[in-house]
């Protein structure tokens, strides 16, 4: 494998005796779109929580750009340019759409602790924020209160906010979940667009999305890695087919 951006070694997480993630050795190649798939409860979200430091691992280590980040606080990991999203949409509902993106942009001004300055000093970020919103087709929603946005649009906003940080690597937890056909297509296009010059690790249940978008796939069941490879390799693996009881899905995805 060439250039690895994220690596886990023996990553394990136990919840009161129940092993949610067991000895996962994951390597994500720089610049790729990597999918993490598996049935419900396989431990995908837990892996996300571990690598982004939202949960401490029971055992194992996490390396980002060759550095051991296992024991650093989550905000610090984020500041390395390693940004996650959440399974349920993560926006700031009572801020406007523009303000949401500005929260992402604000950190680089270095004034986030300046309680004596006027919030008007943030207006100089507006152009940049608008550009990000345009990039995800949300330009016309800038002044809308985020809580009033349709679900699919919220996910796009989430991606725009993440992009504001110019992350080196993005984690997306089921970005198309609960979406209609049109929204899915829009988000897939968006992910493809933003994957230029970055690495993406995503959890995705929709296998046609995985087939069309992802370079490499890791299949997780009951906390362990069952298979890994390209979509072609993984979808022919009999164990994988078995794990997906409705194994037809796996083949359908191509069409």
Partner 1 sequence: MNAPAAFPESKMPLLLGVLFAIGLVAPYAVYPTFLMKILCYALFACAFNLLLGFVGLLSFGHAAFLGTAGYVCGMVVRDIGLTPELGILAGTVAAGLLGWLFGWLAIKRTGIYFAMITLALAQMVFFLCVQIKETGGEDGLQGVPRGHLLGVIDLSDNIAMYYLVYAIFCCGFFVIYRTIHSPFGQILKAIRENEPRAISLGYDVTKFKLIAFTISAALAGTAGATKTLVFQLASLTDVHWHASGEVVLMTLLGGLGTILGPIVGAATIVSLQTQLADSVGSWVTVIMGVIFVLCVLAFRRGMVGELQSLIKRSGVN
Ligand X SMILES: Nc1ncnc2c1ncn2[C@@H]1O[C@H](COP(=O)(O)OP(=O)(O)OP(=O)(O)O)[C@@H](O)[C@H]1O
- Residues at the site binding partner 1, with contacts judged by CB under 8 A: 52, 54, 73-76, 78-79, 83-86, 90-96, 98-99, 102-104, 106-107, 109, 111-119, 121-123, 126, 142-143, 145, 161-162, 165
42 binds ligand X (CB under 6 A): yes
Q: Considering beta carbons, is residue 42 or 132 the nearer one to Mg ion?
A: 42
Report how far residue 140's alpha carbon sits from residue 199's, in angstroms, rounded to the nearest whole number. Answer: 29
Distances, alpha carbon 127 to alpha carbons 102, 124, 142, 161, in Å? 10, 7, 11, 14
Q: Nearest approach, Cβ of 99 to ligand X (angstroms)?
A: 29
124 binds, among Mg ion, partner 1, ligand X, none (CB under 5 to 8 A by kind): none
Q: Token pair for residue 23? A: 């000895």
According to DSSP, residue 248 is labeled H
Cβ partners under 8 Å of residue 245, min gap 6: none
Report how far residue 132's alpha carbon sits from residue 121's, in angstroms, rounded to the nearest whole number. Answer: 19
Q: Which of 45, 52, 100, 199 binds Mg ion (CB under 5 A)?
A: 45
45 binds ligand X (CB under 6 A): yes
Output the CA angle 42-190-233, nearest 5 degrees. Answer: 45
Q: Which of 6, 11, 20, 33 binds ligand X (CB under 6 A)?
A: 20
Q: Considering beta carbons, is residue 70 or 235 the nearer one to partner 1?
A: 70
Which residues form the interface with ligand X (CB under 6 A)? 15, 20, 38, 40-46, 87
């Amino acid at each position: 494998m060439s250039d690895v951006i994220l690596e886990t070694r023996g990553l394990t997480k136990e919840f009161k005796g129940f092993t949610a993630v067991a000895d996962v050795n994951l390597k994500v190649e720089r610049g790729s779109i990597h999918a993490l798939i598996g049935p419900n409860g396989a431990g995908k979200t837990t892996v996300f929580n571990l690598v982004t430091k939202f949960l401490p691992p029971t055992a194992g280590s996490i390396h980002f750009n060759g550095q051991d980040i296992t024991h650093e606080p989550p905000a610090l990991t984020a500041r390395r340019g390693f940004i996650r999203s959440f399974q349920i949409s993560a926006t700031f509902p009572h801020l406007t759409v523009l303000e949401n993106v500005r929260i992402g942009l604000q950190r680089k001004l270095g004034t986030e602790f300046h309680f004596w300055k006027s919030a008007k000093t943030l207006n100089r970020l507006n152009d940049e924020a608008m550009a990000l919103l345009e990039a995800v087709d949300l330009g016309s929603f800038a002044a809308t209160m985020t809580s009033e946005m349709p679900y699919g649009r919220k996910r796009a906003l989430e991606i725009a906010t993440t992009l504001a940080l110019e992350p080196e690597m993005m984690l997306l937890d089921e970005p198309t979940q609960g979406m209609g056909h049109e929204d899915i297509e829009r988000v897939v296009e968006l992910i493809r667009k933003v994957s230029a010059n970055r690495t993406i690790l995503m959890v995705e249940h929709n296998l046609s999305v995985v087939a069309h978008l992802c370079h490499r796939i890791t299949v997780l069941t009951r906390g362990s890695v069952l298979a890994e490879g390209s979509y072609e390799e993984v979808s022919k693996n009999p164990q994988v087919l078995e794990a997906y009881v409705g194994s037809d899905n796996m083949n359908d995805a191509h069409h």
